[in-house]
Amino acid sequence: SQQGEEDPQALSIQEGENATMNCSYKTSINNLQWYRQNSGRGLVHLILIRSNEREKHSGRLRVTLDTSKKSSSLLITASRAADTASYFCAAGETSYGKLTFGQGTILTVHP
C-alpha cells in the first residue's frame, strides 16, 4: 500500500514550545489516527479524527483534518522532554482496521 507523506521528517524544539506535524494521505478514509512510538518500541494511540470531523482536541493535542486536501496536522502544545518520540499518522481506510502509515516525524524536545 502506498504510504502518505509527513513533514517535517525531524523536528527539534525546546521544552514549552509547540510542535506541529503535518501528514498527507492518498486514499479515501474513514478516519485519520495519530500514534507515538518511543525508540522503535510499540505504538501508543494518541487521537482519532473521523472523516466528517475537521478538528479535535485531547489534552495538549490538537488535530485537524482536511479531506479535500487529504491532509492532517497534529499540534502538541507546551511540549515536554517526555514528548520526544516518533509520531506517525495512519489513514484508516474503508476496509476497517487496515491502516496506511505516514513516514513519521521524529520529535526531539530539549529540556
Partner 1 sequence: GAVVSQHPSWVICKSGTSVKIECRSLDFQATTMFWYRQFPKQSLMLMATSNEGSKATYEQGVEKDKFLINHASLTLSTLTVTSAHPEDSSFYICSPPRGGQVNTEAFFGQGTRLTVV
What amino acid is encoded at 8 in this protein? P
CB within 8 Å of 23: residues ≥ 6 apart: 4, 5, 6, 32, 71, 72, 73, 74, 89, 102
The yes or no reply on residue 3 touching partner 1 (CB under 8 A) is yes
The yes or no reply on residue 61 touching partner 1 (CB under 8 A) is no
Comparing C-alpha atoms, which of 10, 3, 4 is closest to residue 105? 10
Whether the bond between 8 and the residue before it is cis, its omega within 30 degrees of 0, is yes
Site string for partner 1, 19-58 (x = CB under 8 A): -----------xx-x------xxxx-x--x-x--------
Q: Per CB under 8 A, which region of 15-23, 58-66, 73-81, 97-105 contacts partner 1?
A: 97-105
Q: Per CB under 8 A, which region of 15-23, 57-65, 67-75, 89-97 contacts partner 1?
A: 89-97
Q: Which stretches of the chain bind partner 1, using CB under 8 A?
A: 1, 3, 30-31, 33, 40-43, 45, 48, 50, 88, 90, 92, 96-104
